[in-house]
Amino acid sequence: MKVRQGRPTVAEIDRSALRWNVAQVRSRVRDDVTVMAMVKADAYGHGIAEVSRVLEKEGVKAFGVSTVEEGAAIREAGVVHPEVLAMGGFVADQVEPIFHNRLTPVVCDLEMAKILAQRLRGTMRAQPVHVKADTGFSRLGVQLREMPAFLDEMKKIERLKIVGVCSHLGSAGNVSGDWIEQQGRAFVRASELCAIHGSPVKIRHLANSMATLTRPDFHFEIVRPGLVLYGIYPLGAAEHPVELRPAMRLRTRVLQVRRLLAGEAVGYDQTFVAERETRIATLPIGYADGYPRALSNRGLVLVRGKLAPIVGRVCMDLTMVDVTDVDGVEAGDEVVLWGKQEDAELRVDEVAEWAGTIAYELLTTVGKRIPRVYIN
Ligand SMILES: *Cc1c(COP(=O)(O)O)cnc(C)c1O
């Protein structure tokens, strides 16, 4: 029996899709390569606690997050043994939780190394750390030309042991081309510099989703797929070497249906005016839920297995769609914003394109007031 409670707008997360996608990823990497599941940004909006638990059960031995707080959330979810790498840098206030939650910090400059070492003073432990190398992204990490001096300084910090080196590619979808090749060479150089300057590293990691699927020469010891685990290819991905299953279905139900006469307008500022007798369905989802306002008069939704266009402006809490051409739509009907319905499917990357953005942004901004419901 289904108990219907509260607002009918939910993000339905299919655990079996997560399991399927991680198996697809595994099929593309050597057996001795560790798959580090990127679960930052609340597991790309899918819920970091449940996603980490599901993936741990699937044998995932390492998780990557951006912030220390995300790492803590994995531990709070009861994921005890896998390694958790905090990749997005940290400040002094975040050092204590790094230790408390047994996270592996990624050091991006000497300052970060020093605040870690400070905390270790008076203890006997040597803390393993990874070093982030900036191979041309110019975002985070030690620039290659600064690396020798950085490594020489690191050697003086006894309590820190560099065990890994990592970097990030400058394209999510297109992992070939001159810039990426240059990054690949710079990354190899960065790991050589570690050895030359007295900190040989056993662990190297560079690959994002697309490099994981298509660039075995970039796999090294760890790969760090994110988006593909959730069943979506990055924007600009030329190849689709495996079949992925989108893990999130964003759905709601029609709240009200009204009939408009030709000439009547819909929504803020009358941006849509009916040219014919029109049936409008109102949906309880809006931009405060992360449903982009850029979809105003542009996007489509699925209702009764058919596409219906958004008309008027997407509001903060509500969105109107034209259901004139879909037979029999009534209040209570399920509406899918992205995901499957009957034989039809709307992919989040298509929706993102209409909104002038990328699937990464839509998934990670699904609002806090939308409950995540797990199936399978
Ligand atoms: C987000 C992220 C990834 C994963 O990127 P995808 O394109 O989602 O696979 C890998 N590494 C780092 C450092 C990241 O921030």
Supply the DSSP string of 218-261, one letter for each residue: G-SSEE---GGGGT-PPTT-----S-----EEEEEE--EEEEE-
Residues known to be catalytic: 40, 268
Give me the residue label for tokens 């003086």. Answer: 156
3-state secondary structure of 52: helix
Rg of the Cα atoms in the chain: 24
pLDDT value at position 5?
63
312 lines ligand 1 (CB under 6 A): no
- pLDDT tens digits for range 210-264: 999 999 999 999 999 999 999 999 988 888 999 999 999 999 999 999 999 999 9
Angle of helix 178-196 versus helix 147-156 axis, rounded to 10: 30
Q: Which atom of ligand 1 is nearest to the CA of 212?
A: 9
pLDDT value at position 122?
83
The single-letter code of the amino acid at 329 is: V
pLDDT value at position 125?
83
Beta bridge partners of 204: 165
Residue numbers in the chain where pLDDT is lower than 50: 1
The rounded Cα 262 to chain-centroid distance in angstroms is 43
Residues 6+ apart with CB under 8 A from 369: 7, 288, 289
- pLDDT tens digits for range 152-176: 999 999 899 999 999 999 999 999 9
Q: Which atom of ligand 1 is nearest to the CA of 227?
A: 8
Structure tokens given for 36 = 């580090």
Query: 365 alpha carbon to ligand 1 midpoint, in Å?
Result: 16
135 lines ligand 1 (CB under 6 A): no
Structure tokens given for 120 = 């270790």
pTM, two decimal places: 0.95
